[in-house]
Every structure is written in structure tokens, then in C-alpha cells.
Amino acid sequence: MALLKDKDKTYLRDEFKKNLKNEVKLYVFTSEEDCQYCDQTVEIAHELQETSDKIDVEVLGLDSEKAKKWGIDKAPTTVVTSNSGSEHARIKYIGIPMGYEFSSLVEDIRRISRNDPEIEPEVQKKLEEIDKPVTIRVFVTPTCPYCPKAVGTAHKFALANKNITGEMVEATEFPAWADEWGVSSVPHIVINGDVQFVGAYPDENFVDYVLEAYKKQGN
């Protein structure tokens, strides 16, 4: 059963035709054990693939070499990356990217295809300070209208700096993980396990939290 309506597919075909430049690859990591939304996540990826010849999809298991290499141990996880030979796992969706988060996925495909994080120069300058690994984890729910902005910012920063990883985590699919970080409202952002805040902040404010977490690592 198709998850996207025909009118949505038509819209995406037009948008992708106008806006996609280079090929993008979606890796979907699944598991046969305790994965309620794996099939739907794979279906979403394949339906997106149908809307553009610049989108490629590969479905792998958590026991695959790629999952081990990238440290992926939760399913479903979708990695969005360039298909130009410079693959990375810095932009992730842990849980199904549906509801409001589907728009985040579409935006990521567009930005990665154009290799353009779409951030202001002053924000980019601050991000350039980061030369050690930083993980931005954004806990969301599919019904949260503010969450895509936070996810988009985390993923833009990851595209802008190879030391940054941005992860969307669907809190209702991974309740124990959400409880571990005291998630009670979303978007709830955890950076390197050291800095936390709630809300969809503008890039220029968000980046200051990222720098705070980076500096706590010590230089």
C-alpha cells in the first residue's frame, strides 16, 4: 500500500526535477526483530526513489558491514548521503521519518544533492571552530510541528562540518532512550550528552549550544 498520495508524488517529482543537482543515496537499516516501522520506512524510501532518478535506495540489516562501520544499532535507521563516492553517516533518521518529519527528509535530500547547507556566513564561521566529533541528537514525535526546524538545523550543521553528526530520534519508538535523557516535550536536543535544551531555536542560537558542548570536550 502506497504511503504517499499521488498528488504528493507529482509535487515531489516537480520539486526534485527543479532542485536536485547530484545523486543522493538513502540507506535504510532494518531488523527482523522488534521493528514495527521497518517495512513502512523502506516503503517511504522506495516511493521517494520513484520520484527522481537522482535518488538511490539500499536496504541493509543491522548485521551488515555498513551498519557496523557506521555504528548503527537501531532499526529503522535511514542515512541520507551523497551518492558521489563521498559517503558518510552524518545525517540520520532513527525511527520512521513520517508526519512532520517527512518534510525534513525531503529538505535533506535537496540540500545534500546541492551540497548546500543553507546557513548564514556568521554561523558557518562558528561551525568551522569544531574540529572534534560532535553529535547532535534531536528527539521528536511525528505530530510535533516545531520539530522539523530543529532536525533541519542539526542536519544542516552536519552537512556543513564533517565533524558533526545530526540524528533525529523518534521518541515514541524508542521510549527507553527518551526516558534516559528525560524527554518530556519535543524537540528535545542532546549534544554530546553534555548540553541539553528544548525548542526549535534559530541557527545563530543553536550553534552556540553546539559550541558549548564542543568546548566541554576540552581542547
Distance CA 76, CA 42 (A): 9
pTM recorded for the entire structure: 0.96
Mean confidence (pLDDT) of the chain: 96
Containing structural domain, residue 62: 1-116
Q: Are residue 85 and residue 165 in the same domain, yes or no?
A: no
Q: Which of 96, 116, 136 represents a domain boundary (last residue)?
A: 116
Could you read off the pLDDT of 38-97 as tens digits, one per residue? 999 999 999 999 999 999 999 999 999 999 999 999 999 999 999 876 789 999 999 999
* Inter-residue contact 150 to 209 (CB < 8 Å): no
Q: Which residue has the cell 523518534?
A: 170
Question: Does one domain contain both 112 and 136?
Answer: no
The verdict on 20 and 86 lying in the same domain is yes
| Same-domain pairing of 164 and 126 | yes
Domain boundary among 116, 148, 165: 116
Chain segment 149-164, per-residue pLDDT in tens: 999 999 999 999 999 9
* Average pLDDT value for residue range 24-38: 96
Q: Which three three-digit cell numbers place residue 86?
A: 563521498
Q: Are residue 18 and residue 98 in the same domain, yes or no? A: yes
- CATH number of the domain within which 31 lies: 3.40.30.10
Same-domain status, 169 and 188:
yes
16 with 105, same domain? yes
Where b means 16+ CB within 10 Å and e means fewer, 2-37 reads eebeeeeeeebeeebeeebeeebbbbbbbbeeebeb
Q: How far apart are CA 148 and CA 172, in angstroms?
A: 16
Q: Are 136 and 154 in contact (CB under 8 A)?
A: yes
Total domains in the fold of the chain: 2
Residue where a domain stops, chosen among 58, 89, 116:
116
Does residue 112 sit in the same domain as residue 125? no
Q: What's residue 1's pLDDT?
A: 64
H or E, element range at 208: helix 203-216
